[in-house]
Amino acid sequence: MNQKSFYDLLTRYHDGNCTEAEKLWVDKWYHNLNSKSFEDLSDAALDEMQQSVWQNINPDATKLVKTATIKRLWPKFAIAASFIVAFLIGGLYWANKNNAENAFMSDNEGLELISKTNDTNRPIIVSLSDESKITLDPKANIIYPKDFATDKRTVYLKGNAFFSVSKNPKRPFYVYNRTLVVRVLGTSFFVKSSVNQQPAQVSVRTGKVQVNENENCSLFRLSDKRVAKPILLKPNQKGIYTDHNLSKTLVEHPIPLAVAYNVPNTVSYNFKEKSLKEIFSTLSEAYGIDILTSQQDILNYTFTGDLSNKGLYEQLDLICGSISGKYKIKGTSIMVSNTN
């Protein structure tokens, strides 16, 4: 296949006018490109190449790249031109095919997959074969096997959803999206996909989940030094993914563990002349969140008040207000200080 034929094939593939045989050829070519190791390239080189691809991905890409120009440059810059063509082809393919989703489909090739999109204006519940349930937000899509594999349970999410996963230690449950992989054994959590420059997030309600970066998120295979370090999340904790980094903080509205696990509540939030040391201990146990201070004298102050039917942050506002203090979230802990 000469250069002009190769470019014509790319153009027809991008416009959806190629045959199934030609599409299969481009798919195989892309997988060969994607399987090559880029680990020897520097971070700067990888970023420069990926930026070059993005600059060429747009509806008028075929108009911007002229065959005559490529022909004119080819004799003089053969190696450089081959790199440009390779990355442009990979970029156009990636623009039409979600690489992470494509990898998920390939990994589950032998299973019968079901795709469900929430076309309503309210959340809907999707029940899986293992009795796990997914509450799918409007416009969200979930791809899942009709029957899971014997060793693991995997689903692919586009959009936002809340998961309630049945326990099965022998068959871990994985949620994939474009940037993240969430691994659980049995728990409930919320996954928010990255959209409109907003970071992807995972918020845990019960149990524990491990969050990894999806190594298939990029057109190029990521080297170990570029992949985000995995994080472990517990109830009322949230993981945030930005630019190959995973960080932990607290959810916007922490709920008592008794409520999350649907067990009887034995904690009283009606305090009468209780020291802040006792109150912070009670709240920490109730929510599973460490409430700390570097000013030990604060712990000797007392508080009287009924904090029932109030959220954690409102409870802390009232407590800190009584001592002219303040609090701030630091990672997955809360730090209380006295402003006096």
Residues 76 and 109 grouped into a single domain: no
Q: How many domains does the chain have?
A: 3
Give the pLDDT of residue 198. Answer: 83
C-alpha 319/C-alpha 327 separation (Å) is 10
Q: What is the pLDDT of residues 36-79, one digit of tens each?
A: 444 444 555 555 555 554 454 444 444 444 554 555 544 544 54
Residues 41 and 77 grouped into a single domain: yes
What is the crossing angle of helices 20-35 and 3-15, to 10°?
100
Residues 156 and 280 grouped into a single domain: no
- Whether the per-residue pLDDT at 201 is higher than 80: the answer is yes
Instruction: Tell me the CA distances in angstroms from 141 to 97, 115, 209, one per residue in order.
Output: 16, 7, 21
C-alpha 175/C-alpha 162 separation (Å) is 11
Is the C-alpha dihedral spanning 263, 264, 269, 273 positive or negative?
A: negative
Residues 313 and 271 grouped into a single domain: yes
C-alpha 94/C-alpha 217 separation (Å) is 10
Residues 229 and 284 grouped into a single domain: no
**Bridge partners (DSSP) listed for residue 249:** 238
Q: What is the pLDDT of residues 99-147, one digit of tens each?
A: 888 889 889 988 999 999 999 999 999 999 999 999 999 999 999 999 9
C-alpha 322/C-alpha 340 separation (Å) is 12
C-alpha 194/C-alpha 119 separation (Å) is 19
Instruction: Check which CATH number belongs to the domain holding 305 and give it.
Output: 3.55.50.30
Residues 169 and 209 grouped into a single domain: yes
Residues 244 and 115 grouped into a single domain: yes
Residues 202 and 263 grouped into a single domain: no
Residues 107 and 236 grouped into a single domain: yes
Of the residues 73, 97, 121, which one is the last residue of a structural domain? 97
pTM of model > 0.85: no
Residues 86 and 207 grouped into a single domain: no
Residues 107 and 232 grouped into a single domain: yes
3 state DSSP class of 336:
strand
Of the residues 74, 97, 120, which one is the last residue of a structural domain? 97
Its domain, for residue 162, covers: 102-250
Give the pLDDT of residue 57. Answer: 42
Residues 234 and 297 grouped into a single domain: no
Of the residues 97, 123, 147, which one is the last residue of a structural domain? 97
- Whether the per-residue pLDDT at 339 is higher than 90: the answer is no
